Amino acid sequence: MAISLKTVSKSVQTAIFLLLFLPLNLAQTHEERNLTKDDLKWLKLVLYDTRDLIKKNYYDINYHSLDVDSRFKQALEKIQSASTRSYAIADVAGAVSALNDSHTYFIPPRRTYVHEYGWRMQAEGDSDCFITAVKPSSDAEKKGVKPGDQLLSVTGYAAIREDVWKIDYVFGILRPQARLQLVLRSPDGTTRQVEAMTYLHPSPGPHWTRRDEIEAARRNHHPRFFDYGQKAIIFNLQDFFFDPDQAHKMLDQFRSHDAVVLDFRGNPGGREEFLLRLVGGMFDHDVKIADRLGRKPLYAAIAKSRGPKTFAGKVVVLVDSRSASAAELFARVMQLEKRGIVVGDRSSGMVMEAVVYPHQVGFFDFAVSITEADLIMADGRSLENAGVMPDERVVPTAADLAAGRDPALARAAELVGVKLTPEDAGKLFPVAWPAEY
């Protein structure tokens, strides 16, 4: 049975699985082991099923001119000569990724251990990547990894903007590692190598025992904000995984202010209905967010106006290179409709719509995320691989990151009449590290 996740981005899909999709426990390390005959038999079935799902359901019947059968035949040859199960599964994933689609990718079976690397990276500007946060007491911190360090490579992968998603996918989902080799450049120009150990702890038992824990985590899910009286409110949304009715509560909160700054940096998107209601609450008329382009005629995404309860004040939206999906759509609608100002860095450009197909072969479960539709906006363009270019591009420097300064948020606050220094802005929304299972 297909599960339609009306969301729009690779990072969105990843977050959905980590929080909500119980049968596939993704945040766990890969077990390196030699490939057995049983493994090979299972992997062949997985490969064939994945190929057939894509051929049947991918939105583009021409598959971007990719010869799907030939590509999967190549993957079969690689699997048959793979030395370990991990490498063979990577070959399945490689066949899927040949479509070069942010929404179409392979999700492997659950692992035995939960992993945590203890540091975060992000592209800043057109190419370079930097360490943006380091978890206290992590091995990375103990070995001197600091915010503001430019990340040159991660275990052989060049850390450039175009490849951040590969690093996330390979080491976050496909082949998590017990240690990662980091090549770093300090703000003073010194280059060094660090081997950062991963914190590993056993998975908390069968997936069905975690329902209450995950539901509890969802109940604690809440936005963060700072209220500056009637003048403005600064609102930070880490994702769009809220009950759609929450959008109305947020809009009611905005309406008592003359302006709102919506901080969507790092926001991977989320529920389509939440997006529609949030956009609808910003306009006194219905707004088309996008047309859907797929194998068959699809309905357009229309945000219905909230009428007399519309927020009519000034809107400033903050985005960065990790803003994706619904966050990107919201920001671009504000630009196209001349409703708000977008500040920050160019967004990720991961804006498609997918259906996730959970599947089982024998006792092993896996899934494939497959793009159902491209989203074409009012200007006739897709944001996929393009992203949203801010009206004012404000990108932190390595020195800003090292000092904890946030010039983008300070500028957004200035636009709504709130005086915040970059130093003070950097303290408003500290990094929220996930709690252990």
Q: How far is CA 224 from CA 180, 241, 316, 381, in A?
A: 32, 14, 16, 32
* Residue 347 three-state SS: coil
Rounded distance between C-alpha atoms, residue 103 and residue 149, angstroms: 30
Residue 393, Cβ neighbours under 10 Å: how many?
13
3-state helix, strand, coil in the chain (%, to 5): 35, 25, 40
Instruction: Return the pLDDT at 437.
Output: 40
So what's the pLDDT on residue 206? 41
Q: Interior CA angle at 5 toward 341 and 159, to 5°?
A: 60
290 beta partners: 301
Helix ranges, 135-266 (H):
139-142, 164-169, 211-219, 244-254
C-alpha dihedral, 354 to 86 to 349 to 395, nearest 10°: 150
Predicted local confidence at residue 175, as pLDDT: 83
Residue 185 host element (H or E): strand 179-185
- Given a contact cutoff of 8 angstroms between Cβ atoms, the answer to whether 323 and 349 are in contact is no
Residue ranges, the chain, pLDDT below 70: 1-33, 203-220, 363, 435-437
Q: CB count, 10 Å around CB of 378?
A: 14
Q: Which residues pair with 129 in a beta bridge?
A: 123, 151
DSSP state of 23: T
CA distances from 166 to 102, 407, 415 (A): 10, 28, 36
